[in-house]
Amino acid sequence: DAKTTQPNSMESNEEEPVHLPCNHSTISGTDYIHWYRQLPSQGPEYVIHGLTSNVNNRMASLAIAEDRKSSTLILHRATLRDAAVYYCILSYLYNQGGKLIFGQGTELSVKP
Amino acid sequence: NAGVTQTPKFQVLKTGQSMTLQCAQDMNHNSMYWYRQDPGMGLRLIYYSASEGTTDKGEVPNGYNVSRLNKREFSLRLESAAPSQTSVYFCASSAIRTAGELFFGEGSRLTVL
């Protein structure tokens, strides 16, 4: 199974952009790249996902390298509420239920 | 719109006791999942059900059983609880064919003494 590698922690200042990196050098051609975040004492929540092209939604942007071996989650203006653990995940067996295997994630702290 | 509802939210068990964690979703999703999260760790998949009538093992299935009761409900049973099963348990659901957007419940905190 393809794995992801993320930094354990990152810091950001409020209202500045944040770039959260993820390496997935053994990604297969059919693996989607997903990002979830988990606020303290809550269940994870979906942020964004993509396959090959860059993706934007109201929460964030996902930039995917041309070779798909890495990706970056971009928060355009960090707020204090964005302090969370961010998980980069590859979907396995997509056609059999889309199960997601979580890694350790990156703990993002946001300073006022 | 409740989303994914888990019960109970908190439970304390003694070693060897049994219990069932209940999960229900009202989004008409086909797939449902049980994860556990130990302190300071990421989530680990215990079991999942790709569709009603099917269940499959995840990363850490030992010591657990599941039942997909119907499309809405997916329960997780601990037959003989052990201290190593002290954890926060999350249920999630997703609509198959939507590239895996999972909706999570609020979690059930289980302590086994």
B46 pLDDT higher than 90: yes
Cα separation, B41 vs A103, whole angstroms:
8
Half-sphere exposure of A69 (CA within 13 A, CB side): 3
Q: How close does chain A come to B61, measured CA to CA in Å?
A: 14
Check residue A29 and give its pLDDT.
83
Check residue B67 and give its pLDDT.
97
Q: Do B48 and A99 touch (CB under 8 A)?
A: yes
Check residue A1 and give its pLDDT.
59
Q: In the β-sheet with A61-64, what is the strand arrangement from edge to edge?
A: A18-23, A70-75, A61-64, A55-56
Check residue B1 and give its pLDDT.
62
Check residue B60 and give its pLDDT.
93
Check residue B83 and give its pLDDT.
96
Q: Do B49 and A97 touch (CB under 8 A)?
A: yes
Q: How close does chain A come to B37, measured CA to CA in Å?
A: 10
B52 pLDDT higher than 90: no
Burial class (CB in 10 A: 0-12, 13-18, 19+), A8: exposed
Q: Which of residues 8-67 of B touch A (CB under 8 A)?
A: 30-31, 33, 35, 41-45, 48-51, 56, 58-59
Q: Do A101 and B101 touch (CB under 8 A)?
A: no
Q: What is the pLDDT tens value at each position of chain A, 112 positions in all?
A: 568 999 999 999 999 999 999 999 988 888 889 999 999 889 999 999 888 889 999 989 999 999 999 999 999 999 999 999 999 988 765 555 556 777 889 999 999 9
Cα separation, A21 vs A42, whole angstroms:
23
Check residue B68 and give its pLDDT.
95
B20 pLDDT higher than 60: yes
Three-state DSSP state, A51: coil
Which neighbouring-strand residues pair with A71? A22, A64
Check residue B62 and give its pLDDT.
96
